Chain A
């Protein structure tokens, strides 16, 4: 079955500390991988995506993610968290081969930032 697992429901990080949000996927086809951020009551903002090539991808707001095929993982990282990073983060997977296929989302990780 195709699925995305975000093991951490809620993470609290001190401002200035590093962050890693975990994402594991199960997908039968070649995956496209995404990380989105959502503030309360808002839509989704794309942080970064992986289609092919370099497995370490850089995104907006200082985020990066590393695709590890052997571990079926696509973890999101940030070296120094800012209070404005507090939000809900979603990992998603889609098909690289089927243009009309919808994304499958993980359940999300809520990030809180303490001062």
Chain B
């Protein structure tokens, strides 16, 4: 299957700082990328959907000014958690797809805000 690379796998940051997470499709062009958040022992909750070259569509309750999503190319989307606080600590997972395939998932990023 196709490969989606997510980086970093783990990050610890201080409260008030910003953190950027990258999601790359390595061997296909991802017209659509999705960002999910997973709290401990819970399911994946969709945060936003981004289409290349367009503004992301955020799910209800997700602050778009706090979780900045950029999908500037067909192989890269970034999620920036701005002014992070401890309650933002979570596991973030991206997935990427082209129109003809199912979505492929990255390995996730464990964010810890201290």
A11 contacts the other chain (CB 8 A):
no
Which chain A residues border B106 with CB–CB below 8 Å? 43
Find out whether the CB atom of B97 lies under 8 angstroms from the CB atom of A99: yes
Partner among B31, B46, B91 whose Cβ is within 8 Å of the Cβ of A102: B46
A103–B96 Cα distance when bound, in Å, is 11
Q: Interface residues of B, CB < 8 Å — how many?
A: 26
- Size class of A's contact patch? 20 to 34
A29 contacts the other chain (CB 8 A):
no
Find out whether the CB atom of A44 lies under 8 angstroms from the CB atom of B42: no
Binds B, one of A19-27, A69-77, A105-113: A105-113
Which residues of chain A in 6-49 are interfacial with respect to chain B, using CB atoms and an 8 Å cutoff?
Answer: 32, 34, 36, 41-44, 46, 49
Which chain B residues border A90 with CB–CB below 8 Å? 43-44
| Contacts from A to B (Cβ < 8 Å) | 32, 34, 36, 41-44, 46, 49, 51, 90, 94, 99-100, 102-108, 110
